[in-house]
């Protein structure tokens, strides 16, 4: 990656690397999750998490967590993890957190929602995918 701002393709590649480093049992259960890179959240996405400023949402899980799924969920749309590029770029500039680390953090956090994890569980999962 060059010194220019990371492109959507750079975000996609970094997110895929983060997913690939998760333990196998998690990767298997994330196979049906769609990963999207968008510039910003939509007004509907912001409203769903009661955030009013589009710069304040860097990632979002949309779907039914595994802990809440049943056989009746089989016809639902696949779950989606969205990363919002512009807020993430701003966060990188403001915090100095490295690109790969920030993308990994957001991907793991949003994947944790898929599993119905608590924040503590998400931190443990993130620790398992660090270098």
Cα distance between residue 78 and residue 63, in whole Å: 7
Please identify which residue in the block is written with the tokens 């769609």.
34
Give the sheet arrangement for strand 80-84, strand by strand: 34-38, 80-84, 59-62
Whether the model clears a pTM of 0.75, i.e. scores above it, the answer is: yes
Instruction: Report whether pLDDT(2) > 60.
Output: no
Query: Tens digit of pLDDT for each residue in 97-118?
Result: 999 999 999 999 999 888 888 7
In a domain, residue 2? The reply is no
Instruction: Look at the chain and report how many structural domains it folds into.
Output: 1
Report the chain's C-alpha Rg in angstroms: 15
Cα distance between residue 99 and residue 76, in whole Å: 33
CATH code at position 39: 3.30.2010.20
Cα distance between residue 92 and residue 11, in whole Å: 13
In a domain, residue 3? The reply is no
- Domain around 51: 8-67+77-129
């Amino acid at each position: 990656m060059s010194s220019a701002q990371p492109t959507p393709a750079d975000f996609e590649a970094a997110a895929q690397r983060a997913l690939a480093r998760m333990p196998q049992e998690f990767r298997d259960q994330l196979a049906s999750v769609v990963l999207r890179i968008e510039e910003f959240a939509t007004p509907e996405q912001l409203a769903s998490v009661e955030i009013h400023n589009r710069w304040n949402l860097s990632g979002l899980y949309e779907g039914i967590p595994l802990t809440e799924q049943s056989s009746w969920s089989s016809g639902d749309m696949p779950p989606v993890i969205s990363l919002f590029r512009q807020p993430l770029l701003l966060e990188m500039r403001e915090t100095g957190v490295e690109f790969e680390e920030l993308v990994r953090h957001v991907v793991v956090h949003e994947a944790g929602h898929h599993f119905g994890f608590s924040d503590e569980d998400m931190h443990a999962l993130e620790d398992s995918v660090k270098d």
